[in-house]
Structures are given as structure tokens and as C-alpha cells.
Amino acid sequence: MKKEKTYFVCQECGYSSPKWLGRCPSCGAWNSMVEEKEIRSLSGRVEIKTTPKPLHLWEEQRAIRLSTGFESLDYALGGGIVKGQVLLLAGEPGIGKSTLLLQVCEGFSKLYGPVLYVSGEESPSQIALRAKRLRVGSESLLVFPETNLEEILQTLREERPSLLVVDSVQTLYSSSLESSPGSVAQVRECTFRLSEVCKELNIPVFLVGQVNKEGVLAGPKVLEHIVDTVLYFEGERFNFYRVVKAVKNRFGESGNMAVFRMTGQGLEEVQEPSAFFLQERVGSPGSVVFPHTEGSKPVLLEVQALTIQALYTTPQRKTQGFDPNRLALILAVLEKEAKVFTRDRDVFVNVVGGVSVEEPAVDLAVALSVVSSVKDKPVGDLLIFGELGLSGEVRSVHFAQERLREGLRFGFKRAIVPEGCRVELQGLEVLGVRHIREAIEFII
């Protein structure tokens, strides 16, 4: 028999080392190494025998799409769920993951037959209470309070549901490992084995992943490469907007999002997100409209900046829905290249609606919203997008046509875009700019 090896695994990033270390050399976290037994037992794993075939024969097994019951979520998933698909729904506690999935289960069970909802976080009576509130109660929605992986796998083989939901993956444990539930080893092993069996049985599965404050998946990023699809559930907890973004998708385009509203009876789909996000916009100085997209379906968002005389020697830079380091860089470019000074001012930037924007196309919108606030001059109904380079140059971005069309659909008449993205569109005056200075000239 082989000697059992132990090793130390960082609970933040999954880095492993044969010795204990006070600080993880990979992610820099302190005191994050936990001793774990080596994962060996490959026995009991399913081996699916496959043979090489030409590509067109593979393609014939075209995926049939199953509906989640929410049109925009289906769209964000590339047309719905595929049998055997492993989806991770990640988000902070209290954002609405269990609510959304219970609603998906209800619709699914009516259309495709029994659904298995495995809950390790809430008791069946708590789920029943929520179900009552959501007015769901399909006979074929089976609730199973279990956290042992082997039990779940067995039940899965017996019941053969049309969909499996595991809420949450951090509560699962496999008897073959000694580490505690929620540890990297457990979360990784459970996800891996669940996805293997779901693929074998052709059952799609939603795994709920709790995310902590820093925005990393607790037990964490290590899951993203195992699953087929990663959905991020975002929004401000005290606000009613919720956004589900497909950040990774092996079965369709990624980057698209579905927008929901949290009501007293669960989540309601927002059909026209652009209208929804702009409905309360007043257009005061510092407010600009940015057509956001990481997929091919843009959504108009309001970006707001507020700048005021700083009280302290180190002025504040605070952002919501936007990277504060990126803001610091934009402020530096504005100062150096356009002589817009903010070093004695506090600067606050907010993307309205709880959406967080990572794509660089938002740079120009942020820069011009800051300028508009500093000069105390509203920009009016103007679409703005473009990436900002360190010398103040405005760079081209993806999906320019789609972004402009979305603006046109909502009655926008003018747009400031990178010169390389300028297109002729009837009814829209598209102003191409090469440098931040040119863009500023248009608004002041």
C-alpha cells in the first residue's frame, strides 16, 4: 500500500505545498494553509470510453436547450441549459441565489419532470416557507436536506431528476476525504465528482457558490475551470436590482447578462434593462450614459461622478461598480494630458444599478463624467465609450455597432466614440475622437 501523503493547501487560492507556510507564495494570504491528505482514490470514478471521430460526427449530437423559465437568463446562457451542463451560480450571501434557483426549479419541474433540490444551508421547512412566498409548490420538486456527497450521488442515480440543484457547494463533504466541508480539497473533489456523474447521466446541475466580501469564491477560483459555466449574481443588497452575468460559458457566448428585480414574491425578469437603468437619471453634471457589454447585447448604464473640495490632505477616491485603481490612473491621465486637476478634490464614481463594469470601454465615460463634474457642466443625452491609454489616446473597443444601436433604440442622438469605432448610423451623430482632449472639447 502506498504511504498516505499530507500536504498544505491555501484555502484562498488552492496553492499546495509539502510544508506549512505562514504566507501563501501564490496569493499572499496569511495563515491560509491547512493540512490535507492527498486525494488518491480514483476507484469508483466513472471511465467513459470514447473513440476518435471526425468533427462533423461529433457536431451531429447538437445540444438541445432547456429553458430556465427566464427568457433573458436563457439568452445569457446561449439559448438555455444543455443536458449534463455544470453551472456555478456564485454570489454573496443574501443576494438571492436560492430564490432564483427555486423559481428555476419550479418551471423546470413542470416542463421536464422531477427536479432534485439538495440543500445543505437551509432546512426543508425554511425552504417550504420561501416556496410559499414565491407561490411555488410543484409536486415534482423534490427537496433533499443532505450534505454527504456519496448519498447525493446515489440518490441522483436512483431518482434521475431532470435538474439537480446543490445549495451550496461549500456545505458538501465526501467521506473519502478527511478535511472539513468548505475546504479547498472538499469543494474541489465534490464538484469534480458531481460533474462527472451529472455528465454521465446527462443531468444538468446548478451549484451554488458562496462568495465572501472580497469577491473571491470561498473555496474558491479553483472551481471555475471544472465547471462549464460560471454565473455571477450581483447587485446591491439593499437595492432591488439583481444582475446575473455569464462570465464563462462553454456552451455559448460569455459576457451577457440578465437583469432581475427582487419583489415580495421573488425575482422578476426585467425585459428592457436599458430603460430600467436609466429611468431615474436626471442628467446633472457628472452623469453620462455608457453602453456596456462584454457579450453582444449591450445595456445602457449611467455612470456618475461627484467631485468636491477635499477636506483632508489626501483626497478620497471611492468607487462603486468600478475599479478604484483604474480611477486613479484616469485621474492621472486627465491631469497630465488635459490639465484637468483633481488632486485637491475628493472623487466619487458610481455605476448606477449595482452592476460592476470591468471592461476598459468604460474609461472614456468615467473620464468625461469626472470632467463634467469638475466643470459643473452637464453633458446632456450623449453616449460615451472608449478605452483610455496612458498618453491620453482613445482606443477602439469591441461591439461598437451594437452599442450605438442600443443607444439609438432609446432615442440618443449623439455619441462620442474612439475614431476607430466611428460608423455611419442614420439618426445618430457619431463623433470620433483620437485623444481625451478632443473628447473634452465636445462636452465643454
The string of DSSP codes covering 108-158 is HHHHHS-EEEEESSS-HHHHHHHHHHHT---TTEEEE---BHHHHHHHHHH
Nearer to ligand TYD (CB atom), residue 54 or residue 94: 94
CB 293 within 8 A of CB 245: no
Complex with ligand TYD: residue 93 or 360, whichever CB lies closer: 93
Alpha carbon distance 50, 331 (integer Å): 56
Q: Is the dihedral of CA 331, 393, 293, 227 positive or negative?
A: negative
Q: Which residue lies nearer to Mg ion by CB, 98 or 195?
A: 98
Cis peptide before 168 (omega within 30 of 0): yes
| Dihedral sign for Cα atoms in the order 230, 236, 237, 239 | negative
- Least CB distance from residue 91 to ligand TYD, whole Å? 6
Q: How far is the CB of 132 from ligand TYD (least distance, A)?
A: 9
- Give the per-residue contact string, 122-141, with ligand TYD (x = CB under 6 A; - = no): --------x--xx-------
Could you say which of 78, 91, 353, 392 contacts ligand TYD (CB under 6 A)? 91
- The residue length of the chain stands at 444
Q: Is 266 in the site for ligand TYD (CB under 6 A)?
A: yes
Shorter beta-carbon distance to ligand TYD: residue 208 or 352: 208
What residue number has its CB nearest to Mg ion?
Answer: 98
Choose between 237 and 409: whose C-beta lies nearer to Mg ion: 237
Among 78, 80, 96, 418, indicate the residue that binds ligand TYD (CB under 6 A): 96
Q: How many residues bind ligand TYD (CB under 6 A)?
A: 15
The site partner of 342 among ligand TYD, Mg ion, none (C-beta below 5 to 8 Å per kind) is none
Task: Give the Cα separation of 158 and 140 in Å (integer).
Answer: 15
Pick 101 or 371: Cβ nearer Mg ion: 101
Cα–Cα distance measured from residue 355 to residue 80, given in angstroms and rounded to the nearest whole number: 23
Task: Give the range of 53-61, 86-94, 279-287, 294-302 binding ligand TYD by CB under 6 A.
Answer: 86-94
* 130 interface partner picked from Mg ion, ligand TYD, none, CB below 5 to 8 A per type: ligand TYD
Nearest alpha-carbon partner for 291 in 276, 302, 306, 282: 302
What is the spatial distance between Cα 95 and Cα 262, in angstroms, rounded to a whole number?
A: 9
Give dist(CA 195, CA 404) in Å, integer: 40
Spatial distance between the Cα atoms of 224 and 135, rounded to a whole number of angstroms: 33
Q: Answer yes or no whether residue 95 interacts with ligand TYD by CB under 6 A.
A: yes
99 interacts with ligand TYD by CB under 6 A: yes
101 or 383, CB closer to ligand TYD?
101
Binding mask 398-437 for ligand TYD (x = CB under 6 A): ----------------------------------------
* 58/173 Cα distance (integer angstroms): 35
Q: Which residues bind ligand TYD (CB under 6 A)?
A: 91, 93-99, 130, 133-134, 262, 264-266
